[in-house]
Structure 1
């Protein structure tokens, strides 16, 4: 009789434990997007404290995630689609810039990587206006990006012919906007190295230099030597500034963090 009672008590204990585990159970089937103060359970936290813990995207910042958050709510990085075709440029040079876009196919969640830039702009200098003058040489800013992101550019044209090598332009940086210094995204971190007073090198080569034009938008070849020219960083339109042209050289001899390429 005693053994039967002990066995019954054991079953009740196991059932109670099972119910308690089901009520808490960490983040299993309870992952929430964004900040959700109702996305809580009572269980062990990552810092080994037992009590209220969270299963929303915000818990990583507040450091109160449940112990199994990373396994039950794996990080989902942002996924973007392919770039669209460049928008056209008219014979009147309006607009003076081309634009291409890409869309977000999956928003980031659970502390995943944020979305990169969804818009890129470039000049229209390979077009001419109705008077035969090339568009965009002095009207718009020079669009630049890090030399690192130029490695994937094509080395041949559409007919398989090798592209011309191009040249380099040296500038003295006059100013930059404060938006450049706060960049911390992996693909825009290079903007933090843009510093006033330093000499920078910018490569002009295909496809930024097209149709044998011999120049890139904003390279200052047709401007006065003392002219203050404008530049803008690709990937963050708020990161921009001015510079003065020093000289044109065959190769870029600046340090990597001060070497850029025209877009």
Structure 2
């Protein structure tokens, strides 16, 4: 706002004369004194580097991790305001705080389109690390509206998810963990008709529940209903 203590009379930067000010508001009202820029230089906000990412907020579920930074210098004299000081990103931890592995029935499955499987198999075959995987069939029970609002090319596959449909999710390298030989979130050990959780990779708003039907050696669902464990 206006600071009467900073009021003077003289020449303004545009060459006009009259009352002029040396407060921060003068930059917006265009009535600064001619030497304002030298007497009160713009000082922008300065922030620190980002901290390291924290651990997941909660284990055994899809949640988030955090990184922060702090203000080193506050802005003055109309300097640019400070940017955000906290960022969050999706996160899943498969171990409890006590160091034990999460129960399979509690771990949400992270899935992506089955199209990525071809590139995976090529890399595994090239370095000789390819191992036999398996397929799990699920029935989709609930889907969030966020799945239908995926506009990026890499999330377009989410639009084909429909409640009640049967989908196939393949477990293959590198998601196939040794020596247990299973993928996290595949529902191993779950009760019959138990609701399990899944999360689509690339769109945190696309998630839901499904029921495990059976495990097979290979998947045979249509391509739009074929996915991969991550």
TM-score clears 0.5: yes
- Listed as ranges, the matches of 1:57-136 within 5 Å are 94=59, 123-125=92-94, 130=98, 133-135=100-102
Residue 187 of structure 1 deviates from its aligned partner by 0.7
Contact 1:87 1:99 in 2 (8 A): no
- Listed as ranges, the matches of 1:122-201 within 5 Å are 123-125=92-94, 130=98, 133-135=100-102, 137-153=104-120, 155-156=123-124, 160-201=127-168
Instruction: In structure 1, list runs of 5 or more residues that go unmatched.
Output: 1-85, 101-118
CA gap of 1:87–1:206, structure 2 versus 1, over 3 A, is farther
Contact 1:96 1:135 in 2 (8 A): no
Residue 218 of structure 1 deviates from its aligned partner by 1.5
Question: Please, what TM-score do these two structures have when normalized by structure 1?
Answer: 0.50
Aligned equivalents of 1:174 and 1:124: distance in 2?
24
Counting matched residue pairs gives: 156
Counterpart of 2:218? 251
- Cα distance per residue 1:227-262 (max 9 Å; x no partner): 000111000011011100000000000000000000
Aligned equivalents of 1:122 and 1:152: distance in 2?
24
Aligned equivalents of 2:120 and 2:136: distance in 1?
19
- Listed as ranges, the matches of 1:48-63 within 5 Å are none
Residue 156 of structure 1 deviates from its aligned partner by 3.7
- Listed as ranges, the matches of 1:216-227 within 5 Å are 216-227=183-194
CA gap of 1:96–1:226, structure 2 versus 1, over 3 A, is closer
Q: What do you get for the CA RMSD once the two structures are aligned? A: 3.4
Counterpart of 1:208? 175
Which secondary structure does the structure 2 equivalent of 1:229 belong to? strand
CA gap of 1:229–1:98, structure 2 versus 1, over 3 A, is closer
Question: Please, what TM-score do these two structures have when normalized by structure 2?
Answer: 0.57
Matched, 1:241 2:187: no
CA gap of 1:206–1:174, structure 2 versus 1, over 3 A, is same
Aligned equivalents of 1:167 and 1:243: distance in 2?
18
